[in-house]
Structure 1
Amino acid sequence: MFTLPSSGAIAVYIGMCMEQILTKRRYFDIGLQIEELLYSGVFKAGERLPAERELSERFQTSRTTIREAIIMLELKGVVEVKQGAGTYFIDSLEKINQKALLPYSDIGPFELLQARQVIESNITGFAATQIRFNELKQLKRIIEQQEKQIGGDSDKFEELDRQFHNIIAESTQNRVLMKQSAELWRAVRTENPRWKQLNYKYLHKKGLRMKWVEDHRSIFLALQKRDAEQARQASWTHLENSKNELVKIFQQDDSLEDFDDFFFAT
Structure 2
Amino acid sequence: MPFQKIQPQKIASAVDQQIEELILQGILRPGDRLPSERDLAERLGVSRPSLREAISDLQNKGLLESRAGSGIFVTEVLGSAFSSALVTLFAGHDRAVFDYVSFRRDMEGLAAERATQCGSDTDLQVIDAIFRKMETAHAEGDDVREARLDAEFHLSIMEASHNVVMLHMMRSMFDLLQQGVFYNRQAMFHQETTADLMLEQHRAINNALQARDPKAARDACESHMEYVSSCLQAQKQRDENETIARLRLASETNSS
Do Structure 1 and Structure 2 share a fold, with TM-score over 0.5?
yes
Decide which of 200, 216, 224 is 1:214's aligned counterpart.
200
Percent of pairs identical after alignment? 20
Match of 2:157 in 1: 168
The one-letter code of the counterpart of 1:185 is: F
Decide which of 147, 169, 173 is 2:135's aligned counterpart.
147
Match of 1:240 in 2: 226
Q: 1:237 to 1:40 in 2, by over 3 A?
A: same
Give yes or no for the alignment of 1:129 onto 2:114.
no
Decide which of 175, 181, 184 is 2:173's aligned counterpart.
184
Count of residues in Structure 1 that have an aligned counterpart in Structure 2: 232
Decide which of 249, 258, 261 is 2:235's aligned counterpart.
249
Match of 1:159 in 2: 148
The answer to whether the Cα contact below 8 Å between 1:101 and 1:187 also exists between their aligned partners in 2 is no
TM-fit CA distance, 1:119: 1.7
TM-fit CA distance, 1:40: 5.5
TM-fit CA distance, 1:246: 0.7
TM-fit CA distance, 1:222: 1.7
Secondary structure of residue in 2 paired with 1:76: coil
Q: CA offsets per residue over residues 195-250 of structure 1, 9 Å max, x none? A: 23x744x5421111112111112212221221223222221221111111111111
Secondary structure of residue in 1 paired with 2:101: helix
Secondary structure of residue in 2 paired with 1:79: strand
TM-fit CA distance, 1:159: 2.0
Match of 1:264 in 2: none
The answer to whether the Cα contact below 8 Å between 1:120 and 1:235 also exists between their aligned partners in 2 is yes
The answer to whether the Cα contact below 8 Å between 1:131 and 1:223 also exists between their aligned partners in 2 is no
Q: CA offsets per residue over residues 29-70 of structure 1, 9 Å max, x none? A: 524647975746434xxxxx844x754443456755752453
The one-letter code of the counterpart of 2:101 is: L
Match of 1:58 in 2: 43
Aligned-residue Cα RMSD (Å) equals 4.1
- In 2, the alpha carbon distance for the partners of 1:175 and 1:256 equals 44
- In 2, the alpha carbon distance for the partners of 1:164 and 1:224 equals 13
- In 2, the alpha carbon distance for the partners of 1:72 and 1:169 equals 25
Q: 1:98 to 1:128 in 2, by over 3 A?
A: closer
Secondary structure of residue in 1 paired with 2:116: helix
TM-fit CA distance, 1:138: 3.8
Q: 1:27 to 1:137 in 2, by over 3 A?
A: closer
Match of 1:113 in 2: 101
Secondary structure of residue in 2 paired with 1:111: helix
TM-fit CA distance, 1:24: 6.7
The answer to whether the Cα contact below 8 Å between 1:74 and 1:80 also exists between their aligned partners in 2 is no
Q: Unmatched 5+ residue regions in structure 1?
A: 44-48, 258-266
Q: Normalising by the residue count of structure 2, what TM-score does the alignment of the two structures yield?
A: 0.69
Q: 1:76 to 1:117 in 2, by over 3 A?
A: same
